[in-house]
Amino acid sequence: MKKVLIATEKPFSKEASKAIVEILKENGHEPVLLEKYTEPAQLYEAVKDANALIVRSDIINKEVIDRAPNLEIIVRAGAGFDSIDIKYAAEKGIVVENTPGQNSNAVAELVIGMLVANARNFFNGTSGTELRGKKLGILGFGAVGKRIAALGYGFGMDVYTFTGDGVFATIDPEQSYVKDLDSYDALFKECQYLSVNLPLDDLTRHLVNYDRMMMMPKGGVIVNSARVEIIDEPGLVKALEEREDLRYLTDVAPKSAELKEKFGARLFATPKKCGAQTAEANSNAGTAAASQISSFFKTGKPTFKVN
C-alpha cells in the first residue's frame, strides 16, 4: 500500500476527487487530500510521508522534494509541468509524468469563448464582429492547439500554424485545412487572431514580443491560455500603447501592474486560471493521474514520463 497525496491549491471538482480516491483505493493505496492550501508549509507537512503525489499547477520545487524522502512518483494532472523541478526530481530518483490531452478540450472551448466574447464587445450591446472568415493562428500545435484549430474551423475561420519549431508533431491528415507557415513571424504577419498554446521552456520564453506583435494585421488579438512567461510583458505594454487596435485576452494572470491598469477593455484577464477548470477535464486528468500511479506501482513502468 502506497500513500498518495493529492495536493491541489485549485481543487478538482468534487466528483473528480471522489473518482481519483476510488481508483487509488481499488488499487490498494491510501489517498490523502490536501485541497485549497494557502501556505507552502501545509504542503511540506503533507508530503513528508507520501510515496506518490498528484498535483495541478502546484509548485513542486527543491524545498518540497527535500521534504519528501519517500516520494517515488509525481503526476501532473494536466499538460504543463513547468511548475515542477523535473531535473531535481530525476536526481532524487523520482519519476515525473503528465497526462497529455486530458484537459485540452476544456482549454480550447475557453479560448473560443474568449474570442467570441471579445468579438462581441463582451456582450455590451454594441455592434461587434464575427469570427467567420477571419484568420486564426495557433502557436503550439499540441493537443490544445489541434482542438482550437478544429473549433475555429467549425466557426469558418482560416486556420494557420507553424510546426517547423519542432516543439510539436506535424499536422495530422484529418486537419489538412490547417496551413503550416514557415516561421512564427509569418504567423504574426498573417493572422488577426493568435492563440498561444506553447509549453513554457527556454525556447518559448518571451516568444511573443514587441516586434512580433507590431507585425500583426489591423485589429490583432492575442489570446493566451498557456503561460504568462511566453509573453514579453514590457513589449506587450509598448505594443498596446503604440497600436490602439491591438487586444490581449488571457487566462493566465498578467504580472505587470501597468498591463492590468492601463488598457481597459482592450485587456481581458480571467480572475483565476480556469481553462482546465471543468468537471470533465478534472475528471479526465485526475483519474488518468490516479491510473498512471496505480500502473506505475503495479508494473514499475512509467507512462508519459517527462524527466
Q: How far is the CB of 39 from ligand 3PG (least distance, A)?
A: 18
Residue nearer to ligand 3PG on the CB measure, 30 or 280 = 280
Instruction: Name which of residues 48 to 77 contact ligand 3PG (CB under 6 A).
Output: 56-57
Q: How far is the CB of 194 from ligand 3PG (least distance, A)?
A: 18
Query: Is 145 near ligand 3PG (CB under 6 A)?
Result: no
Q: Per-residue x/- marks for ligand 3PG, 5-24, CB under 6 A?
A: -----x--------------
**Distance (Å, rounded) from C-alpha 170 to C-alpha 166?**
8
Is the distance from CB of 294 to CB of 27 less than 8 angstroms?
yes
Residue nearer to ligand 3PG on the CB measure, 118 or 284 = 284
DSSP string covering 202-240: TTTTT-B-HHHHHTSPTT-EEEE-S-GGGB-HHHHHHHH
Question: In the numeric block, which cell numbers belong to residue 26?
Answer: 481499488
Query: Is 276 near ligand 3PG (CB under 6 A)?
Result: yes
Query: Is 289 near ligand 3PG (CB under 6 A)?
Result: no
Among 78, 137, 220, 254, binds ligand 3PG (CB under 6 A): 78
Which of 264, 178, 267, 183 has the alpha carbon at shortest distance from 231?
267
Q: Which amino acid is at 283?
A: S
Q: Which amino acid is at 267?
A: L
Query: Is 80 near ligand 3PG (CB under 6 A)?
Result: yes
Question: In the numeric block, which cell numbers belong to residue 75?
Answer: 503526476
The site for ligand 3PG, by CB under 6 A, has a size of 11
Q: What is the number of the residue whose Cβ is closest to ligand 3PG?
A: 78
Is the distance from CB of 97 to CB of 121 less than 8 angstroms?
no
Which of 81, 114, 111, 110 has the alpha carbon at shortest distance from 95?
81
Where do contacts with ligand 3PG occur on this chain (CB under 6 A)? Answer: 10, 56-57, 78-80, 103, 273, 275-277
